[in-house]
Amino acid sequence: MFALAVDILSPLVLLIVGGFFMASFLALSEDTLVRVVADFFMPLLIFHALYLSTVEVDAILSLGASVAIVLVLLLGLSAVYAWVSGVDRRGFSLPVLFMNSGFLGIPLMQLWGGDSAMSLIIIYDQVSTIFLFTLGIFMAAGGLSGRSLRGVATSPMLWALVAGFLFRFLGVPLPGPLVDSLGFAGGAAPPVAAFALGASLAHQRVRIDVHILVAVLTRFFAGFAAALVAVWILGLEGETRTVVIVASSLPAAVMSYVLPVRFGSDASHARTVVVLSTFLGFLWIPAVFYLAEVVHL
């Protein structure tokens, strides 16, 4: 499992390191890179994934319920910590709530359990994406306000989400070359996002404090505990149980850094949590597979 974690995480680390060194020698704009990811590549990825989705309603309901339970528990826990410690709730909560279930989770589950496990993580990731680009945008934009509503209403990512569902469930036909082009362009979103994250580190001092460590530990251990509660409540067993537990315990999503930058919030905390949790994932991912098998409520 350690070798598997290395195989999956190495491309992400390479892109982060590459972005860091490129930005150290070239004048790369973090804001421009993030806008390219958030307003162009990511909407194409979202629409393409939803348009081609073969998700069944019962699978959406069970895995969707598990995602909702995990996020509610983590949102409550992060809100309590932010209130007690005085740390900014937006910066602390986003990387705690949202895990890298797509860029890491999908190939990870494909290598672990083949197509059946990959189909489960795709559903999990799609539901998580819905929360990320609704709840996550509201959080990044400062909560429920006129500014955040405008930010959500004008977000290409949200409109891609809506369009993807509509085209999928209404059966709207699209030319094959157009669908292929959307998939090709959308596939650049995760790599460019990781590259932008690395570029942002070139001119920022990475400061690891107690809040950073708590966020990383919460992302890992509280994500794992929340998933145990979810699979217990829903009665999930076998491969589905393992997928939910492992997915909920993965390192922080790169988009949890991209969204605050895109909506003008301080992303320094989220940036560091994403990087630190990704590097620690080399050790944590093999451990969580083992824990998923031996720990039961």
pLDDT of res. 144: 62
Most confident of 24-33, 110-119, 136-145: 24-33
DSSP classification of residue 264: T
Count of Cβ atoms closer than 10 Å to residue 221 Cβ: 14
Report how far residue 149's alpha carbon sits from residue 188's, in angstroms, rounded to the nearest whole number: 28
pLDDT of res. 55: 59
Range of the domain at 116: 2-294
Residue 161 tokens, joined: 């989400």
Residue 274 tokens, joined: 């994403």
Summarised one tens digit per residue, pLDDT across range 114-134 is 767 777 887 788 788 788 877
**Burial of 104: CB neighbours in 10 Å, binned 0-12, 13-18, 19+:** buried
Q: What is the mean pLDDT of residues 142-160?
A: 71
Of 211, 240, 247, residue with least CA distance to 226: 247
Place of tokens 């500014």: 147
pLDDT grade for 73, boundaries at 50, 70 and 90: very high
- Region for residue 172 given its phi and psi (left: phi exceeds 0; alpha: psi -120 to 50; beta: otherwise): beta
- Region for residue 216 given its phi and psi (left: phi exceeds 0; alpha: psi -120 to 50; beta: otherwise): alpha
pLDDT of res. 263: 73
Q: Has residue 4 got a pLDDT over 90? A: no
Q: Has residue 242 got a pLDDT over 80? A: yes
> Could you tell me if 99 and 251 are in contact, meaning their C-beta atoms sit under 8 angstroms apart?
yes
pLDDT of res. 151: 65
Residue 65 tokens, joined: 């319920």
Report how far residue 107's alpha carbon sits from residue 25's, in angstroms, rounded to the nearest whole number: 32
pTM: 0.77
Number of structural domains the chain divides into: 1
Helices 105-132 & 57-85 angle (0-180, nearest 10): 70
Q: Has residue 230 got a pLDDT over 80? A: yes
Q: Has residue 103 got a pLDDT over 80? A: no
Report how far residue 264's alpha carbon sits from residue 189's, in angstroms, rounded to the nearest whole number: 20
pLDDT of res. 220: 96
The enclosing domain of 187 has a CATH number of: 1.20.1530.20
**Burial of 210: CB neighbours in 10 Å, binned 0-12, 13-18, 19+:** exposed
pLDDT of res. 145: 63
**209 Cβ neighbours under 8 A, 6+ residues apart:** none
One-letter amino acid at 229 equals V
Q: Which of 135-149, 248-262, 271-285 has the lowest mean pLDDT?
A: 135-149
Q: Which of 61-65, 88-92, 173-177 has the lowest mean pLDDT?
A: 88-92
Q: What is the mean pLDDT of residues 136-147?
A: 71
Residue 217 tokens, joined: 């530990």
Q: Has residue 260 got a pLDDT over 70? A: yes
Report how far residue 247's alpha carbon sits from residue 288's, in angstroms, rounded to the nearest whole number: 10
- Higher per-residue pLDDT: 30 or 195: 195
